[in-house]
Structure 1
Amino acid sequence: MRSAHVSVDGPDDPDVVWERYAAPDLWPTWAPQITAVDYPLPRIAPGVGGTVHGLAGVRVKFTITQVDEPRRLWTWRVRIGPLRMHLDHTVSAGPRGGTTTELTVDGPPVLVHAYALASTIALRRLVGFSNG
């Protein structure tokens, strides 16, 4: 197993950024690697699972494991075939205004490395940079 940590600061308000995370139907609007999300609820909730549809027909099953809306943090487990990853996300006020969002990914090295690279672009868009 391997871990990676990504932290991105951006201009958008933390509450706005949190809403983009909390509503799975918004994920494709800021994460270019996501084309659609199948999820039964309008907001993330512990114990509820779904499927992320990615580029080239990739499908990733997931289960939300923790959500703390007041603290703006959530965790989930994802499964790609036999491979598993655990992801922790936080959203907080940035050091100079705006937002800081952080991601910690644990899983097989090849997946962790690929996801950390893709997530940097997505997280920049999440916090308000339109060009990633």
Structure 2
Amino acid sequence: MSTVTLHASGPLVPAETWERYAEPARWPTWAPQITGVQVPVPRLAAGVEGRVRGPLGVRLPFVVESVDEAARRWAWTVSAGPVRLHLVHWVSDGPDGGSTTGLRITGPLPVVVAYAPLAQLAISRLVRPLDRAP
């Protein structure tokens, strides 16, 4: 198993950045690798099971392992057959206002290395205002 930790800072305030995590229906708005989410609840909670939909209609099951709203921290495990990725996310105050988000990914080295650039793009978008069509 290998672990990589990523960070991104941007102008979005921590409360809004957290809400983008806490409401799974919002994940596709900032995570380009997620095209849809199926969950039985509108907000993250420990024990929630669901599926994320990715490119080409790939659906991967996940389990939310923990959620700490006060600390703005949550963890989940995503599965692809026998391969499991454990992801821990957090949001904190940014260095110049705004917010910083972190992501720790643990899993098989080739999967972690392949996923890290997409994850970095996603968390960089997470801390920025959404692009709006004119």
* Contact 2:29/2:130 (<8 A) preserved: no
Q: Which residue of 1 aligns with 2:11?
A: 11
Q: Which residue of 2 aligns with 1:48?
A: 48
Cα deviation, 1:58-89, whole Å, max 9, x if unaligned, reads 21110000000010000001101110111100
TM-score where L is the length of structure 1: 0.96
Structure 2 distance, partners of 1:8, 1:102, is 7
* Contact 2:4/2:106 (<8 A) preserved: yes
Structure 2 distance, partners of 1:110, 1:61, is 20
Structure 2 distance, partners of 1:115, 1:60, is 14
* RMSD of equivalent CA atoms: 1.1
Query: What is the total number of aligned residue pairs between the two structures?
Result: 131
Displacement, 1:110? 1.5
Q: Which residue of 1 aligns with 2:124?
A: 124
Select between 54-63 and 11-20 the one with higher mean Cα deviation: 54-63
Amino acid at match of 2:76: W
Residue segments in structure 2 that go unaligned for 5+ positions in a row: none
Structure 2 distance, partners of 1:40, 1:130, is 26
Residue segments in structure 1 that go unaligned for 5+ positions in a row: none
Structure 2 distance, partners of 1:45, 1:68, is 9
Displacement, 1:129? 5.7
The runs of 4+ residues in structure 1 deviating greater than 4 Å are none
Q: Give the fraction of aligned pairs with identical amino acids, expressed as a percent.
A: 50
